[in-house]
Structure 1
Amino acid sequence: NLWKDFKLSRFQFTSWHRLEQCDVTGDQLTCPRVRKGPSAEELLLRERTDLCLESGNRRRRREEEGQRWEERLQENWENCVELNLSYQDLGDPFQQENFLRILRRLIRVEKLQLIDNSLTNLSSVCLPRCRMLNLHRNHLVCLRQLPKLPVVEHLCLSENAIRSLGGLGSLENSPLRSLNLTRNPVSFTQDYRAR
């Protein structure tokens, strides 16, 4: 048992597309971790943004960006139909930007779970085929912070901080059948269900 735990722990923080002899793609995973932090080099580059970069550094930076682009292509997010990206613990702005980048690539997703990710604004994201979206336990304050959801049928927004129904008109043309707003401040306003 101890040997098995050791063997598994070696791959604990490894991205699946970096594993050799692995046929798994991003659209086959149940809940992959996408919350990696910036590398030490990127942190260093953040600190030196005000300094002029030498031509050698620019070339190295272009090579690193090319390598990152290659890895992003291997992630295969565009083919995901059903995806669970819950509990990502997005603490750093880098992690949040990376997470939004992934969400913007989900052009075919129909069922998406984003539970407990401390998300505050998804208005820059469009999910053209998403029929079921679960945003339970995030930090959304209003319905205008939702992604564009033209065909959403089931939307769960329970345990957020939504105070009003302003922005509900953006869901007017979608075939919405269920909307869950339990444990939001708006659920304590008079006649909110009827509205």
Structure 2
Amino acid sequence: MSESSSGVNTSSGSFPKSHSSHYSELSDTHTPLSVEHTPDSGIVATPLPSSRFRFTSWHRLEEHDVRGDQLTCPRVREGPSEDEHSLRDEDIFLRNGRRRRREDEEQRWEERLQENWENCVELNLSYQDLGDPYQLENFTRILRRLIRVERLQLVDNALQDLSSVRLPRCKSLNLHRNHLTSFGQLPKVPEIQHLCLSENSISSLGELSLLQATPIQSLTLRLNPCEFLEDYRSRVFSCLPKLKVLDGIPKLPEDSVPPKLPSSSRLCIIL
């Protein structure tokens, strides 16, 4: 069992033989190699079983049964250039626009069914490098379809606002190293139990109450500005009574002490 460059778990017999004829033009001389250690300490390089498909989007392969929920780490790629968009629009207009649009809609629907994001239970969409608006739009579209995902990795994606996304079944969410500045920018996660927000830019605990109705058990806020607030741990545990672990450290007796209230102003009497 190995993992292809597209993130699909494959074995040597997982694709029909017809693929070898469809993509035989991909020469084995440029095929990535896997390394095997022999008993005599020699090293043998062998082609990865899925290397011939490394330049092809998985849902454009013919006669395969790989679905979106079987991908371990898919990539959100850049969209077509503006020139390609205009050329494609002209082509649609010249070739019976109505019929062409219907064919495109049917193709998009088939691809949507093939992606099958709705049945993903565990998904890794980290390190996407979402520099193009098309990528971010497509990325958000995928997130909105994750209605059954329970474990989701979104590490280092420069994400700024996910408040329009709802993940109704998500129990574990990793948003390490993004650009979030408040808890209000988090997706709706009513069933969240484990949430990692380390290395973001959250400076206030004011919106932490948005997580009060969730069954959250562990929260990581390391390397956020709010970590350096006075009575930081007491304030977090006071706001989230169900929380058991903060920043990898279980709740301590001193964490149950209510945070200090702001001192009231005192009058100075001059005699």
Q: Shorter chain as normaliser: what TM range?
A: 0.7 to 0.9
- For 2:192 and 2:62, how far apart are their aligned partners in 1? 38
How far is the alpha carbon of 1:96 from its aligned partner?
Answer: 0.4
1:98 and 2:133 aligned: no
| Cα 1:182–1:42 shift into 2, 3 Å | farther
Q: Which has the higher strand share?
A: 2
Q: Point out the more displaced range, 149-158 or 16-25.
A: 16-25
How far is the alpha carbon of 1:179 from its aligned partner?
Answer: 0.7
- For 1:67 and 1:42, how far apart are their aligned partners in 2? 22
- For 2:221 and 2:171, how far apart are their aligned partners in 1? 17
- For 2:61 and 2:112, how far apart are their aligned partners in 1? 15
Aligned partner of residue 24 in structure 1, secondary structure: coil
> Which residue identity does 2:156 align to in structure 1?
D
**Structure 1 residue aligned with 2:58, among 9, 12, 16?**
16
Taking only the aligned residue pairs, the percentage that are identical comes to 64
How far is the alpha carbon of 1:25 from its aligned partner?
Answer: 1.1
RMSD of aligned alpha carbons: 2.6
User: Contact conserved, 1:144 with 1:166, CA < 8 A, in 2?
Assistant: no
User: Contact conserved, 2:31 with 2:52, CA < 8 A, in 1?
Assistant: no
**Structure 2 residue aligned with 1:30, among 40, 50, 72?**
72
Q: Point out the more displaced range, 95-104 or 182-191.
A: 182-191
Give the 4+ runs in structure 1 shifted more than 6 A: none
TM-score calculated relative to the size of structure 1:
0.85
| Cα 1:26–1:37 shift into 2, 3 Å | same
- For 2:103 and 2:210, how far apart are their aligned partners in 1? 42
1:153 and 2:193 aligned: yes
- For 1:161 and 1:114, how far apart are their aligned partners in 2? 16
> Which residue identity does 1:86 align to in structure 2?
S
Any gaps of 5 or more consecutive residues in structure 1?
Answer: none
Aligned residues: 189
> Which residue identity does 2:154 align to in structure 1?
L
- Please name the residue that 1:88 is paired with: 128
Q: 1:119-140 CA distances to partner (integer Å, 9 max, x unpaired)?
A: 1110011000000000001111
- Please name the residue that 2:202 is paired with: 162
**Structure 2 residue aligned with 1:129, among 162, 169, 175?**
169
